[in-house]
Structure 1
Amino acid sequence: MYDLNDKRWVKNVGQLRATDHEVVLTFDDGPSRQLEAILDVLQEKQVPAAFFWQTRLLYNERPWQRVIQEGHQLGSHTHSHKNLSRLPKVGQWKQIKDSVDKMRKITNTNVSLFRPPFGQYDESTMEILEELNITPVMWEISSYDWIHKKNPETITSNVAAHVRDGSIILLHELEQTQAVLPRLIDEIRNKGYQFTLL
């Protein structure tokens, strides 16, 4: 796997143009059935977030309009969640370019953020993103929400125990994540942090 400290990845508060005590919530693997409920929580709590979507799940019928109207960000998570580090460059190009093109066509917005599935990428990935003028985004804190369906409170503790200035927090559009999201937001705010965008 490529060096996660590579300066080409958006990872820290300076690159986010954020001030002290700001963090970013990011949601992968949508748009899912949980999207509306997640957006309801974010709206109630007045929290912006970034969503990284697989475009195989993106249709006009999905509530993508709310994401844009309510001030959130959209980014690509490839078309079908392939491990890019296992694909030749031409395969990576298709996964990334097709995804970005479809998102732009459906949402009529300039999609310029990208997160690789499984956090896996290589030099070819970076070359493609540079060619397409797309900003790569990793994360600093993983909630591990996908493995805590039976114990969702662990999601909150996983994040709250490690949050710091400029943290990019990895979440997913899952039922258990939506269930604990209000408390997670409150816990982060109680530690003195506010939420910003990438």
Structure 2
Amino acid sequence: MYDSQDTDVITSVRSKAEKSVVLTFDDGPSKVLTQILDILEAEDVPATFFWQSRLLYSERPWKRVLQDGHMIGSHTTKHPNLVKLPYEKQFEEIQNSITKIERITGSKIEYFRPPFGQYNADTIEAAKQLNVTPVMWRIASIDWELKEDPQQIMTNVIDHLEDGAVLLMHELKQTVEVLPELIKAIKEKGYTFILLDH
């Protein structure tokens, strides 16, 4: 469980829906994106994708992401630890990412996730100047460490579910493996899935 006292950063979302969560995926667009989209379509679940713009080629199925009703946010250009960079470099990383994603997709970027979940006052200021809202999470699946134990991804999420929580996942093979089961388990606990700007 993660929480931030920083009012400029989103970790959870309040919805009119009875109980809801926000599903987010970092570090794409990746080779497994199409599989993730197939699962989300089958389960009728919206998600937000935070992309590194260096990975965004026009061949990636970004059109389908938007056509299917999902959102795309910035995850910088090259995924640096922003707190190790001066303000100007942080601004540049975020700005270049937003510019490239908007140019290719034609979709306005409103949300931004700092790599490694690391940010400081400069990051917040850069995001304000660029008119994007930083998004962290309440529940981390730790999927990036669980290549050999995908079932633990399930446990990490299901054991900590709460209303409005933003869930952190990644575009990884092991995540794809458990995603259908995970979505069903979240629904069985009475939760619906919403977007950040529900």
Distance 2:88 2:102 in 1: 21
CA–CA distance in 2 between the matches of 1:24 and 1:148? 21
Partner of 1:93: 91
Structure 1 counterpart of 2:189, one-letter code: K
Deviation of the 1:135 alpha carbon: 1.0
The 5 Å alignment of 1:8-19 reads: 8-14=8-14, 17-19=15-17
Paired residues of 1:13 and 1:19 also in contact (CA < 8 A): no
Is the contact between residue 17 and residue 192 of structure 2 (CA under 8 Å) also seen in structure 1? no
Residue 63 of structure 1: aligned partner: 61
RMSD value over aligned CA atoms? 1.0
Mapped partners of 2:55, 2:16: distance in 1: 31
Task: Tell me what 1:127 maps to.
Answer: 125
- What corresponds to 1:24 in structure 2? 22
TM (norm. structure 1) is: 0.96
Distance 1:120 1:114 in 2: 12
The separation in 2 between residues aligned to 1:49 and 1:114, in whole angstroms, is 14
Q: Secondary structure at the match of 1:28?
A: strand
Letter in 2 for 1:6: D
Question: Residue deviations 1:70-119, cap 9 Å, x none?
Answer: 00000000000000000001110110000000000000010111000000
Compared with structure 1, are the counterparts of its residues 18 and 90 closer, same or farther at alpha carbon in structure 2 (3 Å cutoff)?
A: farther
Work out the CA distance in 1 between the residues paired with 2:100 and 2:5: 30
Quote the offset at 1:19 in angstroms. 3.0
Aligned-partner residue type, residue 103 of structure 1: I
Q: Corresponding residue for 1:5? A: 5
Displacement of 1:18 after TM fit? 4.5
- What is the percentage of aligned positions where both structures have the same residue? 52
Q: Matched residue of 1:24: which SS?
A: strand
Q: Select the residue among 185, 193, 196 that pairs with 2:194.
A: 196
Check whether the contact 1:24–1:49 (CA below 8 A) recurs between aligned residues: yes
Paired residue for 1:78? 76
Preserved contact between residue 13 and residue 20 of structure 1 (Cα < 8 Å): no
Partners in 2 of 1:18 and 1:95 — Cα distance? Answer: 35
Identify unmatched segments of 5+ residues in structure 1.
none
Residue 138 (str. 1) matches residue 99 (str. 2): no
**Structure 1 CA distance, aligned partners of 2:103 and 2:12?**
30
Output the amino acid matched with 2:135: V
* 5+ residue gaps, structure 2: none
Q: 2: distance between equivalents of 1:90 and 1:191?
A: 45
Q: What secondary structure does 2:37 align onto?
A: helix
Query: Aligned pair 1:165/2:150, yes or no?
Result: no
Q: SS in structure 2 opposite 1:166?
A: coil
Partner residue in 2 for 1:108? 106
- 1:36 aligned partner: 34
Partners of 2:52 and 2:78 within 8 A in 1: yes
